[in-house]
Chain A
Amino acid sequence: MIPEDKGLWSRFTRWAHQSLNLTEIADWFFTFTGLLYGELDRRLDLREAIPKALKKPVPKHINWLFCFGGTTFLFFLIQLVTGILLTLYYRPAPEAAYESVRHITNDVAFGWLVRGVHRWSATLMIIFVMLHMLRVFFMGAYKPPRELNWLVGTGLFMITLVFGFTGYLLPWDQLAYWATTVGTEMAGAVPVLGKFLLLIMRGGADVGGETLTRFFSAHCIILPIAIFFLLGFHFVILRRQGISGPM
């Protein structure tokens, strides 16, 4: 698998393969922190599962294109951590929201960084979920028996977009306000259901305080719970069926 050329990269990967035995490191770590592992293992028999998970072989045809899903998940974890940090100072009320975001950015230690990372990682998460979908599509990895995971994936894609849409309103500045006016008005153009969707999203005739609390609730409570369950399905199905074969 690892080509025997003199390239720096392949020398590095060979070294990593030979010297960094993940299974051994994990075993060493869990033995070293023995109390927890030992006591837990005596009751739950965990020692068997960890090497099994770590030793699961990676098929030969796997390449970097298969990493987009995992990268999307990494950005999600970053969103989770930075998002929770933001909620410590963010205040979801029309009188307070803008000022609290200003406070995070200018006064709180590293607030600019937490906010900036949340914003960049949100953008990158959307880019990578799209790359992931393109990979799955062009490799035909959605074909039976994997249709179900494609469906779960479309759900995840939509949740990711709605995360971005609802988060965008939270700073409550002019850009946020009018972007949400325009975005909800688009939902209002849906035949038959439009008026209803518009009301449900705005919580009133116009974008206002009710919209802000609604979007906050969606962004920080409803969507995280929904994405947690869908990610769970996505990964369990993936693990059960295995990664799709070579093209």
Chain B
Amino acid sequence: MPDNEKESRREFLARAATAGTAFMFLMSAGAAAFVAFEYILPPARSMDIANKPMLAGSVSEIPAGKSKELLYGNTAVLVINVKGEFKAFNAKCTHLGCIVKWSESKGVFICPCHNGTFDTNGNVVSGPPPRPLGRIAVQVKEDKIYVGGES
């Protein structure tokens, strides 16, 4: 019999086995939590961002005062013709993300959600939006309009 102060071989092995099991249990729990976390995060593919200029249409399609809506990657884009000059904006309202509409009669962008309005430079005229609309580069080559990419 070993003396009382010392651990017996049996006690030592039992404690080591307990510690080992606890360790393996914690590791698997950690791995499971990691897998679940990664699973919940949406895959990166659903966040594709376009970065090359894209054909938006021909000049004759958008007469002065009119607009055209299109999708550039995942971004809703509004192209307007202001007295012959083409401008493009990210149509996502800077307040809480609704898609703004071009109002031909008023000459401003109007957000249907809380009535934010933006002028033809994308600056806020009225309503809750804190920032101007995002500007999108426009290039006119011959009679074709391109949006996006470098300006």
Contact = CB atoms under 8 A, between A and B. Distances in A.
B13 interface: no
A245 interface: no
B111 to A, nearest CB: 10
Nearest to A198: B97
Nearest to B37: A200
Given A204-B46, A206-B74, A182 B96 contact: yes
B40 interface: yes
Contact of B42 (A178, A185, A199): A199
Q: What interface size band does chain B fall in? A: 10 to 19
Interface string B50-83: 0000000000000000000000001000000000
B42 to A, nearest CB: 5
B98 A205 contact: no
B41 A185 contact: no
A210 interface: yes
Nearest to A182: B96
Nearest to B48: A205
Contacts of B74: 205-206
Contacts of A199: 41-42
Interface in B71-104: 74, 96-98
B42 A203 contact: yes
B40 A182 contact: no
A97 to B, nearest CB: 19
Interface string B26-49: 000000000000001110001100
Interface of A: 178, 181-182, 185-186, 199-200, 202-206, 208, 210
